[in-house]
Amino acid sequence: MSILATEKQTLSNFIGGQWVKSTTTKYEEVPNPATGEILGEVPISTEEDLEKAVAAAKKAFATWRKVPSPQRARILFKYQQLLTENWDELAKLITIENGKNYNEAYGEVLRGIECVEFATGTPSLLMGQQLPDIATDIESGMYRYPLGIVGGITPFNFPMMVPCWMFPLAIASGNTFILKPSERTPLLANRLAELLQEAGLPEGVFNVVHGAHDIVNGILSHPDIPAVSFVGSQPVAEYVYKTGTSYGKRVQALAGAKNHSIVMPDADMDLTVTNIMNAAFGSAGERCMACAVVVAVGDIADELVDRLVDEANQMTIGNGLEKDIFLGPVIRDSHKDKTIGYIESGVEEGAKLLRDGRKDESSSEGGYFVGPTIFDQVTTEMKIWKEEIFAPVLSIVRVESLDDAIALANQSEFANGACLYTDSAKAIRQFREDIDAGMLGVNLGVPAPMAFFPFSGYKKSFYGDLHANGKDGIEFYTRKKMLTARH
Ligand code: NAD
């Protein structure tokens, strides 16, 4: 399969090691968001397709769970090598289907590779615990085992990194996996499957079923799928968590965000501006760790606002495959319309529109572009403060003290990330202790944890207990047996 082929592709599902045409009659077009050019069409698969994948994954589980963990890990070593060899192609594919610029896509591939590298450590990570003498001549031991078939449901904004939060650890732990990628960015998932096969993964261990809510509902209610990992928007995450757990499943559901960056008067201005521009407008604001709100403390506000607007005025907007383009499109025309709706609501609610991205031109025709948009004088009553916009729209709120800034950020119903820009150890400590968010950054803009740590949001940014990645991931994808033995 040539991923970068210009002719339109009709995607197949990947089931039991084969490319299987969906039984559906419904297909959705997949445009390149930078040009509007149709890249292919994705099947909105049926219950019958899902059943085939479950049957293949169930059959594979019977043998895969018995494959020694160093052998499972060895396949992932090979996979790491293949991902590295195909890095450039994978990055281009991300840019073509998602719109983020090539450098960001290249970085996303790295993030995926790091997850695979972490999963190659499963022989150590899966170790249990023993106590040789819980009583005279009696010992106890805890052993970890896979769960069975894991369902993974992923969003459009990280077509590589987010699936890689899930399947490498899940399969290295002895589970089999069914991925339902976003129907808006389905191409990369098939390439990930192809490379897994090339790495020597037995058939049926990893399957891809394309589609929309019907497949999600099928996964959530299927008696043969004991665990579901979900990443996506808040309402869907809540629905997935409640529905999946009502069927007795283990569910982790990572959701939306509204991340605040607090800027103290002693912050290094150059570093702060560079990092906020990247965090607010990188990936067109379509990151769950994007900076959505700047909270300017004290008299730094005027200079900060001027510098941010200056930088935004120089931003290059266009097709992320072109050299030196920073800001790519948002994912769909409908998302552009929704973003414009938010900008209108900000104006109506009395925020000061300092920079209007609706007027920007892009160097690429036919795409869904919104330029960098900056509002000042935003308040917590406004919709643009309360809701996740997920687009290049930055709100600025002005406050008098760090106490006020933290109190304001803590009013958000989301709690994914938060950042602080300062030179003060005391302020950093207060921020770490009192801010209500799971992933904190100090003097940097996108504090996404690496693969060996958990991805740690809470409040309405996360539903569940064990987070994605790190040791939480191992806990999530395994269950324990306790053996107590008398000798
Ligand atoms: P989305 O919720 O629209 O879609 C996510 C997945 O759910 C897709 O596979 C989609 O097919 C499925 N889905 C959508 N609507 C559904 C419904 N009604 N019923 C059942 N399934 C449904 O999310 P998106 O727009 O693709 O992704 C962006 C969102 O994901 C943002 O809110 C972002 O903050 C969030 N996100 C969160 C994290 C995190 O770590 N917390 C990471 C990445 C993205």
Assign residue 280 the CATH number of its domain: 3.40.309.10
pLDDT the model gives residue 413 = 98
CA of 457, closest atom in ligand 1: 41
pLDDT the model gives residue 487 = 87
Round to whole Å and give the CA distance between 138 and 186.
Answer: 53
Distance of CA 299 to the CA centre of its chain: 36
Ligand 1 close to Cβ of residue 292 (< 6 A)? no
**Whole-prediction pTM:** 0.97
pLDDT the model gives residue 49 = 98
Residue 319 main-chain phi, psi, to 5 deg:
-75, 120
250 and 353, same domain (yes or no): no
User: Looking at the domain assignment, is residue 21 inside a domain?
Assistant: yes
Asked whether residue 3 carries a pLDDT value surpassing 60, the answer given is no
Q: Whose CA is nearest to atom 23 of ligand 1?
A: 232
Which two structure tokens, joined as six digits, stand for 5? 């082929």
- Is 365 labeled as ligand-binding? no
Asked whether residue 328 carries a pLDDT value surpassing 80, the answer given is yes
226 and 362, same domain (yes or no): no
User: Looking at the domain assignment, is residue 450 inside a domain?
Assistant: no
Ligand 1 close to Cβ of residue 153 (< 6 A)? yes
- What is the Å distance from ligand 1's center to 111 Cα? 19
Residue 218's Cβ-count burial label (10 Å; 0-12, 13-18, 19+) is buried
Asked whether residue 338 carries a pLDDT value surpassing 90, the answer given is yes
Asked whether residue 6 carries a pLDDT value surpassing 70, the answer given is no
- What is the Å distance from ligand 1's center to 359 Cα? 29
pLDDT the model gives residue 217 = 98
300 and 332, same domain (yes or no): yes
User: Looking at the domain assignment, is residue 295 inside a domain?
Assistant: yes
Round to whole Å and give the CA distance between 162 and 355.
Answer: 32
80 and 193, same domain (yes or no): yes
| Region of poorest pLDDT, from 5-14, 154-163, 196-205 | 5-14
Q: Whose CA is nearest to atom 42 of ligand 1?
A: 288
Percent of the chain residues past pLDDT 70, beyond the cut: 99
- Is 156 labeled as ligand-binding? yes
Q: Whose CA is nearest to atom 26 of ligand 1?
A: 155
- Residue 301 contacts residue 264 (beta carbons within 8 Å): no
CA of 237, closest atom in ligand 1: 2
* CATH number of the domain enclosing 228: 3.40.605.10
Q: Best substitution site from 216, 252, 439 to test ligand 1's pocket, by max atoms within 8 Å of Cβ? A: 216
Round to whole Å and give the CA distance between 431 and 447.
Answer: 14
Ligand 1 close to Cβ of residue 183 (< 6 A)? yes
Q: Which residue has the tokens 């900076």?
A: 291
Asked whether residue 1 carries a pLDDT value surpassing 80, the answer given is no
17 and 152, same domain (yes or no): yes
| Domain around 59 | 9-256+457-486
323 and 236, same domain (yes or no): no
Ligand 1 close to Cβ of residue 182 (< 6 A)? yes
Q: What is the mean pLDDT of residues 436-458?
A: 97
Rg (CA), the chain: 23
Catalytic residues: 288
Q: What is the mean pLDDT of residues 270-288?
A: 98
Q: Whose CA is nearest to atom 30 of ligand 1?
A: 232
275 and 386, same domain (yes or no): yes
User: Looking at the domain assignment, is residue 451 inside a domain?
Assistant: no
- Is 183 labeled as ligand-binding? yes
- Residue 233 contacts residue 256 (beta carbons within 8 Å): yes
The pLDDT confidence band at residue 18, using thresholds 50, 70 and 90, is very high
CA angle 165, 93, 215 (to 5 degrees): 55
Round to whole Å and give the CA distance between 474 and 467.
Answer: 10
Ligand 1 close to Cβ of residue 151 (< 6 A)? no
- Is 74 labeled as ligand-binding? no
Ligand 1 close to Cβ of residue 259 (< 6 A)? no
Q: How would you write the chain as a 3-class SS string?
A: CCCCCCCCEECCEEECCEEECCCCCCEEEEECCCCCCEEEEEECCCHHHHHHHHHHHHHHHHHHCCCCHHHHHHHHHHHHHHHHHCHHHHHHHHHHHHCCCHHHHHHHHHHHHHHHHHHCCHHHHCCCEEEEEEECCEEEEEEEEECCEEEEECCCCCCCHHHHHHHHHHHHCCCEEEEECCCCCCHHHHHHHHHHHHCCCCCCCEEECCCCHHHHHHHHHCCCCCEEEEECCHHHHHHHHHHHHHCCCEEEEECCCCEEEEECCCCCHHHHHHHHHHHHHHHHHCCCCCEEEEEEEHHHHHHHHHHHHHHHHCCCECCCCCCCCCECCCCCHHHHHHHHHHHHHHHHCCCEEEECHHHCCCCCCCCCCCCCEEEECCCCCCHHHHCCCCCCEEEEEEECCHHHHHHHHHCCCEECEEEEECCCHHHHHHHHHHCCCCEEEECCCCCCCCCCCCECCEECCEECCCCECHHHHHHHCEEEEEEEEEC
Asked whether residue 5 carries a pLDDT value surpassing 80, the answer given is no
Ligand 1 close to Cβ of residue 189 (< 6 A)? no
Q: What is the mean pLDDT of residues 92-110?
A: 98
Residue 158's Cβ-count burial label (10 Å; 0-12, 13-18, 19+) is buried
- What is the Å distance from ligand 1's center to 255 Cα? 7
120 and 74, same domain (yes or no): yes
pLDDT in tens, 117-131: 999 999 999 999 999
Report the DSSP beta bridge partners of residue 29.
41
User: Looking at the domain assignment, is residue 447 inside a domain?
Assistant: no
112 and 214, same domain (yes or no): yes
CA of 461, closest atom in ligand 1: 41
Ligand 1 close to Cβ of residue 232 (< 6 A)? yes
Ligand 1 close to Cβ of residue 157 (< 6 A)? yes
Ligand 1 close to Cβ of residue 154 (< 6 A)? yes
- What is the Å distance from ligand 1's center to 418 Cα? 21
The pLDDT confidence band at residue 7, using thresholds 50, 70 and 90, is low
47 and 181, same domain (yes or no): yes
Domain count, the chain: 2
CA of 180, closest atom in ligand 1: 9
Type of residue at 327: L
Round to whole Å and give the CA distance between 251 and 244.
Answer: 6
Asked whether residue 22 carries a pLDDT value surpassing 50, the answer given is yes
270 and 342, same domain (yes or no): yes
Average pLDDT, the chain: 97
Q: What is the mean pLDDT of residues 376-391?
A: 98
Q: Whose CA is nearest to atom 21 of ligand 1?
A: 213
Ligand 1 close to Cβ of residue 416 (< 6 A)? yes
Q: What is the mean pLDDT of residues 405-425?
A: 98
Which two structure tokens, joined as six digits, stand for 122? 């499963």
Q: Which residue has the tokens 């390149």?
A: 32
- Is 198 labeled as ligand-binding? no
208 to 117, 142, 163, 376: CA distances (angstroms): 22, 33, 11, 44
Pairing status of strand 259-263 against strand 176-180: unpaired
Q: Best substitution site from 30, 288, 368, 456 to test ligand 1's pocket, by max atoms within 8 Å of Cβ? A: 288
ipTM for the predicted complex: 0.99
Round to whole Å and give the CA distance between 139 and 131.
Answer: 6
CA of 388, closest atom in ligand 1: 32
User: Looking at the domain assignment, is residue 353 inside a domain?
Assistant: yes
235 and 307, same domain (yes or no): no
Q: Nearest Cα to 290, choosing from 260, 316, 315?
A: 260
Which two structure tokens, joined as six digits, stand for 69? 């963990």
User: Looking at the domain assignment, is residue 112 inside a domain?
Assistant: yes
Q: Best substitution site from 214, 231, 413 to test ligand 1's pocket, by max atoms within 8 Å of Cβ? A: 231
- Residue 41 contacts residue 28 (beta carbons within 8 Å): yes
